Amino acid sequence: MTATHSTRMLILGSGPAGLSAAIYGARAGLAPIVVQGVQPGGQLTTTTDVENYPGFREVIQGPWLMEEMQAQAEHVGAQMMYDMIVDVDLTQRPFRLTGDSGTIYVCDTLVIATGAQAKWLGLDSEEAMKGKGASACATCDGFFYRGKKVAVIGGGNTAVEEALYLTNHSHDVTLIHRRDTLRAEKILQERLFANPKITVLWNKEVVEFVGGGDPEGLVALKLKDSVTGDLSQIDVEGGFVAIGHHPATELFRGHLELDEDSYITVETGTTRTSVPGVFACGDVMDKVYRQAITAAGTGCMAALDAERFLAEADFEAVAQAAE
Ligand SMILES: Cc1cc2nc3c(=O)[nH]c(=O)nc-3n(C[C@H](O)[C@H](O)[C@H](O)COP(=O)(O)OP(=O)(O)OC[C@H]3O[C@@H](n4cnc5c(N)ncnc54)[C@H](O)[C@@H]3O)c2cc1C
């Protein structure tokens, strides 16, 4: 028999956004259900050192932080489900969602916190060097490369912003782009070309992340010229891949308004989506900051927005019944 769970607040995703929404939702008495998806704890479970989440003087571990967040959410009354949503019906309230397990979730409000995964080049050597020099987030990891030579791979706004950001820590930043022009906005390009700490390598593709040393870390990137095919090498200790992100929104296409990059559109200053009663928080609606703390912040906002939405809906229902 198909199991059905009904709740005032259903939360999709168990990263910092989803779990923060769960903590606030539970403390508002909404007994939220969190559907955790295939990555319980979200992206921070894939990293080690986290040094910028407030409240901890010493470096903490990403997986530990997420375990604590989940324990806190459960402690105040949120329920975790090990399932992944595969179908949504947002045409009427209560909304109806279907899990991979076949379980049906019926909810008065829906908080979407499904995140956005960084795109990688897809090289085996890149995979092997993740956490040892290969990164997809300069804001997260740039600080660990103080005084070291680093490279950024990409040619859009994010790549240029990451290169500029890294000059706060490194005097030698190389931007590697596989074409001979950048896609980034003109103003960003002007700042890039004016920065003496940044060198641009045109028409170069990264073909290998080279490890070395003990403990092993990135020591170089092997490059292939996209015009001549010539191979070369650049010595760097940090290689930042900045070629975009995939927001996890395929499920909502045609059901909710998405922007040109497939992020969920929200009303400015809120987490309200194009469907009343559906709220979005964290990286799935934020292509600018993409940090654990901003995800947690908007998770809190989503729960408060949902709680207010329910209070208004309940009030209207009582008023209508009294007419
Ligand atoms: C390697 C690495 C290191 C990082 N380091 C830092 C750092 O030091 N400091 C920092 O502030 N930020 C860091 N970040 C960024 C930070 O992890 C993200 O900004 C943050 O995790 C975003 O939180 P989120 O809750 O929006 O989404 P995520 O953490 O991406 O969580 C998304 C959740 O949605 C779930 N999900 C997806 N689809 C479905 C579905 N269909 N049904 C149900 N659930 C679903 C997933 O299982 C997951 O639980 C790092 C990121 C990476 C990848």
Domains and CATH numbers, the chain: 4-117+245-322 (3.50.50.60), 120-241 (3.50.50.60)
Supply the residue whose CA is at minimum distance from atom 38 of ligand 1.
114
Q: Which of 281, 278, 226 is nearest to 21 (CA)?
A: 281
Which atom of ligand 1 approaches the CA of 50 most closely?
8
112 lines ligand 1 (CB under 6 A): no
CA count, 13 A, side-chain hemisphere, 294:
13
115 lines ligand 1 (CB under 6 A): yes
**Catalytic sites, residue numbers:** 137, 140-141
Prediction pTM value = 0.91
271 lines ligand 1 (CB under 6 A): no
Structure tokens given for 227:
């015009």
Digits of tens for pLDDT over the chain (323 positions)? 689 999 999 999 999 999 999 999 999 999 999 999 999 999 999 888 899 999 999 999 999 999 999 999 999 999 999 999 999 999 999 999 999 999 999 999 999 999 999 999 999 999 999 999 999 999 999 999 999 999 999 999 999 999 999 999 999 999 999 999 999 999 999 999 999 999 999 999 999 999 999 999 999 999 999 999 999 999 999 999 999 999 999 999 999 999 999 999 999 999 999 999 999 999 999 999 999 999 999 999 999 999 999 999 887 888 888 87
